[in-house]
Amino acid sequence: NDGIVITESASKKLTSEHIHKKELSINENTVLNLRYFGVQYPNTLKYDNTKKLDEDGIIKKGQVVHKGDILIAALQKHATQTPVSVKAIHRQLADRPKNVSVEWIYDEEGVVVDVHKSASNVTVFIKTEEQAKIGDKLTGRFGNKGVITGIIPDKEAPRTKSGDNIDIFLNPHGIISRINIV
């Protein structure tokens, strides 16, 4: 009853801003060093991604991030000693620190708006602008609300007598049941 269908144009018009917070906890075994990270994991960082990071391997404020970009290039040293049997097999693998990097996993690109570094934490704030998508909630002026259940191409939308597209389609049963009259 409270499903809403919108057009692709309406999806673009209903763009919203989001702030994403990405964090990494730091302890005495955490290594934040871009060069050392590159030596241990040479094929992990792309050249474009490397230019966006400072010498500690932390994304710089103002950088645009894309899916797959590393925000915090971090390594975790082993807290316990590696068994002698593993060292005997392959010393290089036994001593290699674990990659605990924080990566941007979203499809939307974002802009780094702030970076906080402390002795125990690194926090990166990223702003995105996202179009309305299926599953988002829309609300009306009188408390009526619904969830977007479909996005249709503009050419499939009905038109008014003057030829304008109708962008948002509400179920009349859902509107009446959701309005706060008081």
Give me the pLDDT at residue 108, please.
Answer: 92
CA distance 80 to 71: 27
Q: What DSSP character marks residue 74?
A: -
| Side chain identity at residue 85, one-letter code | S
Q: Are the CB atoms for 69 and 52 separated by under 8 Å?
A: yes
Rounded to 5 degrees, φ, ψ at 105 are -105, 0
- What is the enclosing helix (H) or strand (E) of 134? none
Give me the pLDDT at residue 139, please.
Answer: 81
Q: Which tokens is 48 given? A: 């474009």
Give me the pLDDT at residue 172, please.
Answer: 73
CA distance 63 to 57: 13
CA distance 104 to 6: 29
Q: What's the whole-number average pLDDT of the chain?
A: 87
Digit-by-digit pLDDT tens for the chain (182 residues) are 678 899 999 999 999 999 999 999 999 999 999 999 999 999 899 999 999 999 999 999 999 999 999 999 999 998 665 555 555 565 555 678 999 999 999 999 999 999 999 989 999 999 999 999 999 998 877 777 789 999 999 999 989 999 888 999 887 766 665 566 66
Q: Are the CB atoms for 31 and 75 separated by under 8 Å?
A: yes
Give me the pLDDT at residue 88, please.
Answer: 59
Nearest-CA neighbor of 71 among 54, 59, 61?
A: 59
CA distance 3 to 147: 5
Give me the pLDDT at residue 58, please.
Answer: 97
Residues in contact with 58: Cβ distance below 8 Å, sequence separation at least 6, in sequence order: 32, 71, 72, 73, 115, 117, 122, 124
Pairing verdict, β 75-76 and 137-139: unpaired
